[in-house]
Structure 1
Amino acid sequence: MKRLYTFLSLGLSLLMLNAQAQRKGYWQQKVDYTMHIDVDEKAYQYAGDMKLQYTNNSGKALHKVYFHLYFNAFQPGSMMDYRLQNIADPDKRMMAKSANSAALQSRISLLQPDQVGYQKIKSLTFNGVPANYAVSGTILTVELPAALEDGAVGEFKMTWDAQVPEQIRRGGRNSKEGVALSMTQWYPKMAHFDDYGWHLDEYVAREFIAPFGNFDVTIHLNKDYVVGGSGKLQNPTQVKGYDRTAKPKVDKNNKVAWHFKANQIHDFAWAADPKMMVDSAKTKGGVTVYTVFLPTDKEVIQNWKTALGLATEFFDFASAKFGAYPWPTYSIVQGGDGGMEYGTATLITGGRKLDGLVGVIFHEAAHSWYQHLFGINETVDEWFDEGFTSYVQDIAFQQLFAKKGAVETNPMIDSYRAYYKLVLSGKEEPMSLLADYYKTNYGYTQSSYTKGAVLAEQLGYIIGKENLEKTFLAFYDQWKFKHPTPNDFKRVAEEVSGINLKWYFNLFINTTRTIDYGIQEVTDEQIVLLNKSDIAMPLDVLVEYQDGTQELFYIPLREMRGQKPAEGYSMYNGVKRTVLEDWFWTKPTYHISLSKKPKQVIIDPTQRLADVESSDNMLKR
């Protein structure tokens, strides 16, 4: 358990950036933001001032860089607007009826000039020299007056004006629950540059990728407001809500300065409202968890209090299983339109029943690992982000909230059922599809959240439950703060288990092929198994004999070039395990010879094999 407390070393920044990743030739860029924001809360506008230190480790000189201007998506005629108008199943939160039509329309298309979002650059210099720039949609292109050489650090200075859009998606003003400001994707954000080049996705729906760095953010806001945000608040005695002895330091404009710092994150978010209430608690590992929410009634207050206690348990639980949470704070802030993760913080809707509140907190907090701690590219590998997060969430929810303890068979069974429904719907697309390009929101959600969770649990079926647990921790040790790809995770799993996994990751991620095995025939002498599918898998086959004894036959897949060890499920206690010759995908049938008369045969009694038609996976004689 000593690993749980190692985060207390806040030499984090240098430690993590200097650590060597396993992949030869690995590199990453680095950003350090210092921002001052002056907010006009009545007009929902603000003026921004940024100094950005950008470190180029790419191995090449850069002549051009890019920033994201996400608020620009909330304007009639934007790509996000047209996406809403043309996708088969638009997000209902983003649709509304106009005064002239009963049909649902994109809410963005209905925005008036004082309701739209924008980020307008006023000045921009690079190393003190004015830089030429151009804006196209949500992307700002900057021509550097002189190249940023490999290994060099360049300094950008930028001022901009912004208007906070009506709350439509993630960030905005006046949320449905009454939060005045939900400030996400609110600043010009340096685009990500890596081995694949610049990631310049227009903001049309999905999520993000960005370089790691340090944030020093000061928000100048009306003295009556309470702010919850990323990082650690530096001046709690000078603002409202965090310290009972606080005496807000008010300037001549009736504003106070909220000063936050955070190291080694890749996004910064905050929300503010005069009615916000702040509570906090510490985990056993020493993380301070804050809740910042609207105390609308006694039930809401009690739910948030209970959820705070469970959140502290969650961080200790997840730290033990997936690697130590490395930051000193985490803030759960009411705002936005659902739930969305950011660096050391999340914005969630708060008027929920307790189970819903805990569920969304667990999910967004789990993103501290599978997104923020690893810096996964959500625009490309959405299932690696959402699917693995759903996996962490479900395990924690079952053990900490539902008090079920460790689920003996398949803790992801609900995700499996949702995946089977997706297969039957005809709307499934490969998980490797870029997140923005799914034909339906339904297809995106089920592929990334549910099929991604299935991939993780089924991986445990292939390499063994204990090897999966070791893989998560080994992956953390090797790839925290390094923007790993799914192939990096696969390689760690192969090293831990000694099993080749190329076939599994390729077929389950890049295709919509399905798994379907069946018991074709059982006699006194043998079992005949049939692979009816186009994905081959290893099989666990449990046989109960007529004399009451049992035997577990394990059939490796030839492509694995190895085999999983015996697993510690109670259903297998005292059961003889027999490892058979491998089965290969070019052969549709497999014969198991028996020494005794069988009574019952079951393929995978743990139900972790994602077999789309399991009615023929059990046969009683």
Structure 2
Amino acid sequence: MRLKFTTLSILSFASLFAQNIQNNPGSNHGNRFEQLGTILPTPNTYRTASGAPGHSYWQNKADYEISAYLDEDKRNLKGSETITYYNNSPDDLDYIWLQLDENQQSTVKKADFPTSSTIPQSSTDQQLRPTEIPAKDNGYGVTLEKVTDKSGNPLPYVVNKTMMRIDLPTPLKKGDQLIFTVDWNYNIPNRIKMGGRGGYENFSEDGNDLFTMTQWYPRMCVYSDFHGWQNHQFTGRGEFALVFGNFKVSMNVPADHIVGGTGECKNYDQVLTSDQLTRYRKAENTNEPIEIVTLEEAKKAEKNHSKQRKTWTFEAKEVRDFAWTSSRKFIWDGMRVTIPENNNKVMAMSFYPKEAYGLYRKFSTKAVAHTIKTYSEFTIPYPYPVAQSVEAANGMEYPMICFNFGRTEKDGTYSEGTKNGMIGVVIHEVGHNFFPMIINSDERQWSWMDEGLNTFVEYLTEEKWDNKFPSKRGPAWTIVDYMKLPKNQLEPIMSNSENIIQFGPNAYSKPATGLNILRETIMGRELFDKAFKTYAKRWAFKHPEPADFFRTMEDASGEDLDWFWRGWFYGTDPVDIAIDKVTIAKPDLETLKKDSERKYSVEKPLQNNFEDISKIRNKEDKNITFYVDTDKEVQDFYYKYDRGQEKVDSTKEYTATSESSAPLDKNDKEKFKDITAYQIDFQNKGGLVMPIILEFTFEDGSIIQDRSSAQIWRLNEQKASKTYYFNKKIKSIQLDPMKETADIDTSNNFWSNDDTSIQTSSFQVFKNKQGETIRGSSNGTINPMQAAGKKK
């Protein structure tokens, strides 16, 4: 779903804290770079430690046959559905759960998730009404007419707000299937006034409605290995957890309506005029959008409200949901697009009222085609036969169809912001075909797994649409204002959808930005793109969880990213790395390091200072023999020395001299004369570790960059230093010059040598006379064997 948001200034509310997953609290190391370990769920035969589905992975399935009747005058939808539910789990099921999402529109059936309220500074006439206690039924929500088994016998059920439990007469065994029927109806809400994803929009100027039918039928909940029944209530925010299956749907609507829906229409020859059918067949073989229903035909239909009816029939295979739209206002265009990776020939199409003609006719279908092609490059090849965009003054996604905004002014003009917003929302909502319609994450629990991942690939797609596209989410610098907020206004990305205050930045922007930082700054495009595609391939048409994503990204790239998941996904610390100090030093090429001299005596026997309990018990145990006591060949000088059988004067003092240096020759002095050393001290003020990216500008005008991985912080998470040696003088140092790390304070990211107080120190340079130190050598000292004059 596409959300517009601004960063709010929230004055006071209950403090929220990041998950405390420190390994070594109170220390300046051993926290941010430790493995996630038991924080992630334990791998099993369903989900492996590599992040891939296990050999015992399973998921249930639900097939739907639905008949719907749209009563335009009463704004009521009536339906009957037969569901075939397949229990592929290893468990016997005593009951099943369905979602009744339309109950969220009811004043008496909705989930009770209230929020605080205060007296407004102003109010509309619709908002101002007496408080009703208890609330009166507003007439919305699902009315269940009957629930029966395949023989027509009633099935007992219980409705709990937006959820319905059906109690089964006998348990549904592993490997069995259940066939049952639900008949229902509901009053369609005005989604412009009441909010929500589905409903109708009324165009008062021409007296027509545009219907978007979403969450419109009772839908099976997910039963999974990681959650059991996902029957969390629908509150309007956290979206959906759904089961894959096949759909056969017929929609009976006014005869002059045009219908678009999930999947392929199976009876265009019965519902389209001959001219429209001819245009559709032509559009199937063109790479430029063709109007199937023209602007003139749509304007004409607006004026004549037919009392006749038509039934449109659609089928869709292996989808998790079904949505549709119906209106006589629609212009409809389409073209064929071929996905290179699998040679899939897809019908890209758009439906829109005349109010959006100036934008949608030019951009929508081409943006649909561009999106499915680009997402196919970064994830998996688009597998479905259709991809559709519907202009409905909102943004919401469903398999093969999505609802977007983008209308012109009455004179046909539009602002650049409206154009870019419209293209962006089409890309975003069409992109949801991949996340979560195919890579089927649990939106009700983890909004970031669909919104965040999708927003990231949206950014990549916007970039490939136009390099000048003003993307608002994805680049690191765009998340800075959110990351600057006080900790009590933030929550980790790994938070339940319903508990997030700054929902847009948390679920969309921050995860998208994190993935972009991984791709551009931490992993590099080659490693990241392979790992990301691996995740998409592994979990296409399955139910992934966060650990599956985290583990796959590491498994396929060979990069240890636990530090990044800890900080960016489980924490709320921002990035604020500062250049704390720059120390400058020149080499002293003349002063020699003095030879060192030290006094020492011969080592005494190297025995433990304390006889531990194991040694005492081993010595007392008559059954134990010690090797050195039985093999005289290994009884050397030190065997006897340790036992007092060899005597050495340990009081005698010896002198050792170390000639450590020699003067530099003329060539070396010439080589080193222009070198300057720069020690740059960094401070981690924000807490979140990141790579250190530096840009050096030299006095001769040249510029170079250097990158140090985030692991530079692993032994001290608060301070780090990096020393460079250059043959030319630095004029300035810029930290994070391309704003890649979302640093919230760039005022401490710059250093210049213009400061007159800067002092230059020196360090000695000399030739090392000593050879390489060999492990175990005496380094010029006398050992006890030499002192005793013994050689064995």
After TM superposition, the score normalised by the length of structure 1 is 0.82
Q: Hey, what does 2:349 align to over in structure 1?
A: 290
2:200 pairs, out of 165, 173, 183, with 173
Q: Shift in Å at residue 587 of structure 1?
A: 4.2
1:521 pairs, out of 550, 563, 581, with 581
2:255 pairs, out of 218, 223, 238, with 223
Per-residue CA distance 1:571-611 (angstroms, 9 max, x = gap):
xxxxxxxxxxx431644222212212433223333322122
Aligned pair in 2 of structure 1 residues 499, 27: CA closer, same or farther (>3 Å)? Answer: same
Q: Hey, what does 1:416 align to over in structure 2?
A: 479
Q: Hey, what does 2:183 align to over in structure 1?
A: 159
Q: Hey, what does 1:344 align to over in structure 2?
A: 400
Q: Shift in Å at residue 395 of structure 1?
A: 2.5
1:611 equivalent to 2:743? Answer: yes
1:1-16 mapped onto 2 (5 Å cutoff): none
- Alpha carbons 1:516, 1:613 under 8 Å: kept: yes
Q: Hey, what does 1:26 align to over in structure 2?
A: 57
Q: Hey, what does 2:468 align to over in structure 1?
A: 404
1:70-219 mapped onto 2 (5 Å cutoff): 70-79=101-110, 83=114, 86=116, 97-98=125-126, 101=129, 112-113=138-139, 116-125=140-149, 129-167=153-191, 168-175=195-202, 179-194=209-224, 195-206=226-237, 207-219=239-251
Partner Cα separation in structure 1 for residue 118 and residue 273 of structure 2: 44
Q: Hey, what does 1:480 align to over in structure 2?
A: 540
Partner Cα separation in structure 2 for residue 428 and residue 89 of structure 1: 25
Q: Shift in Å at residue 80 of structure 1?
A: 5.6
Task: Give the letter for the 1:281 counterpart.
Answer: M
- Alpha carbons 1:69, 1:119 under 8 Å: kept: no
Q: Shift in Å at residue 69 of structure 1?
A: 0.8
Partner Cα separation in structure 1 for residue 704 and residue 118 of structure 2: 50
Aligned pair in 2 of structure 1 residues 551, 309: CA closer, same or farther (>3 Å)? Answer: closer
1:555 equivalent to 2:620? Answer: no
Partner Cα separation in structure 1 for residue 113 and residue 538 of structure 2: 41
- Alpha carbons 1:75, 1:111 under 8 Å: kept: yes
Partner Cα separation in structure 2 for residue 276 and residue 193 of structure 1: 38
Q: Compare CA radii of gyration and give the structure with the larger one.
A: 2
Task: Give the letter for the 2:468 counterpart.
Answer: K
Partner Cα separation in structure 1 for residue 747 and residue 273 of structure 2: 58
Q: Shift in Å at residue 315 of structure 1?
A: 1.9
- Alpha carbons 1:399, 1:406 under 8 Å: kept: no
- Alpha carbons 1:124, 1:158 under 8 Å: kept: yes
1:260 equivalent to 2:319? Answer: no
Q: Which SS does the other structure have where 2:725 is aligned? A: coil
- Alpha carbons 2:108, 2:136 under 8 Å: kept: no
Aligned pair in 2 of structure 1 residues 587, 303: CA closer, same or farther (>3 Å)? Answer: closer
Q: Hey, what does 2:498 align to over in structure 1?
A: 436
Q: Hey, what does 2:366 align to over in structure 1?
A: 309
Per-residue CA distance 1:27-70 (angstroms, 9 max, x = gap):
21111111111222221223322111111122111111110111
Per-residue CA distance 1:150-177 (angstroms, 9 max, x = gap):
1222212222233222322111123579
- Alpha carbons 2:691, 2:708 under 8 Å: kept: yes
Task: Give the letter for the 1:539 counterpart.
Answer: I
Per-residue CA distance 1:510-532 (angstroms, 9 max, x = gap):
22122221111123321111112
Q: Shift in Å at residue 322 of structure 1?
A: 2.5
Structure 1: segments with no counterpart, 5+ residues: 1-19, 559-581
- Alpha carbons 1:531, 1:589 under 8 Å: kept: yes
1:330 pairs, out of 387, 390, 393, with 387
Task: Give the letter for the 2:377 counterpart.
Answer: A
Q: Shift in Å at residue 139 of structure 1?
A: 0.6
Q: Shift in Å at residue 350 of structure 1?
A: 4.1
- Alpha carbons 2:210, 2:329 under 8 Å: kept: no
Q: Which SS does the other structure have where 2:541 is aligned? A: coil
- Alpha carbons 1:129, 1:145 under 8 Å: kept: no
Q: Hey, what does 2:295 align to over in structure 1?
A: none
- Alpha carbons 1:237, 1:243 under 8 Å: kept: no
2:725 pairs, out of 585, 588, 595, with 595
Per-residue CA distance 1:1-26 (angstroms, 9 max, x = gap):
xxxxxxxxxxxxxxxxxxx9823242
Per-residue CA distance 1:192-211 (angstroms, 9 max, x = gap):
11121211122212211101
Task: Give the letter for the 1:227 counterpart.
Answer: V
Q: Shift in Å at residue 81 of structure 1?
A: 7.6
Task: Give the letter for the 1:592 counterpart.
Answer: K
Partner Cα separation in structure 2 for residue 123 and residue 601 of structure 1: 72
Q: Hey, what does 1:16 align to over in structure 2?
A: none
Aligned length: 557
Aligned pair in 2 of structure 1 residues 242, 311: CA closer, same or farther (>3 Å)? Answer: farther
- Alpha carbons 2:146, 2:154 under 8 Å: kept: no
Q: Hey, what does 1:4 align to over in structure 2?
A: none
Partner Cα separation in structure 2 for residue 414 and residue 270 of structure 1: 38
Task: Give the letter for the 1:598 counterpart.
Answer: I
Deviates more, 1:600-609 or 1:26-35: 600-609
Task: Give the letter for the 1:612 counterpart.
Answer: I
1:445 pairs, out of 477, 482, 504, with 504
Q: Which SS does the other structure have where 2:532 is aligned? A: helix
Partner Cα separation in structure 1 for residue 150 and residue 92 of structure 2: 15
- Alpha carbons 2:92, 2:173 under 8 Å: kept: yes
Partner Cα separation in structure 2 for residue 483 and residue 213 of structure 1: 13
Task: Give the letter for the 1:344 counterpart.
Answer: M
1:371-382 mapped onto 2 (5 Å cutoff): 371-382=436-447
1:51 equivalent to 2:113? Answer: no
Give % identity.
Answer: 26
Partner Cα separation in structure 1 for residue 732 and residue 545 of structure 2: 43
1:491 equivalent to 2:551? Answer: yes
After TM superposition, the score normalised by the length of structure 2 is 0.65
Q: Which SS does the other structure have where 1:130 is aligned? A: coil
Aligned pair in 2 of structure 1 residues 270, 125: CA closer, same or farther (>3 Å)? Answer: same
Per-residue CA distance 1:433-486 (angstroms, 9 max, x = gap):
211222x3xx11111111121121122222223222222222222111112122
Partner Cα separation in structure 2 for residue 411 and residue 173 of structure 1: 33
Task: Give the letter for the 2:125 counterpart.
Answer: K
- Alpha carbons 1:73, 1:81 under 8 Å: kept: no
Q: Hey, what does 2:451 align to over in structure 1?
A: 386
1:321 equivalent to 2:378? Answer: yes
1:238 pairs, out of 270, 287, 294, with 270
Q: Which SS does the other structure have where 1:31 is aligned? A: strand
Partner Cα separation in structure 2 for residue 304 and residue 151 of structure 1: 49
Partner Cα separation in structure 1 for residue 230 and residue 432 of structure 2: 21
Task: Give the letter for the 2:210 counterpart.
Answer: A
Aligned pair in 2 of structure 1 residues 21, 124: CA closer, same or farther (>3 Å)? Answer: farther
- Alpha carbons 1:230, 1:260 under 8 Å: kept: yes
- Alpha carbons 1:118, 1:164 under 8 Å: kept: no
Per-residue CA distance 1:222-248 (angstroms, 9 max, x = gap):
21211111111111121147962489x
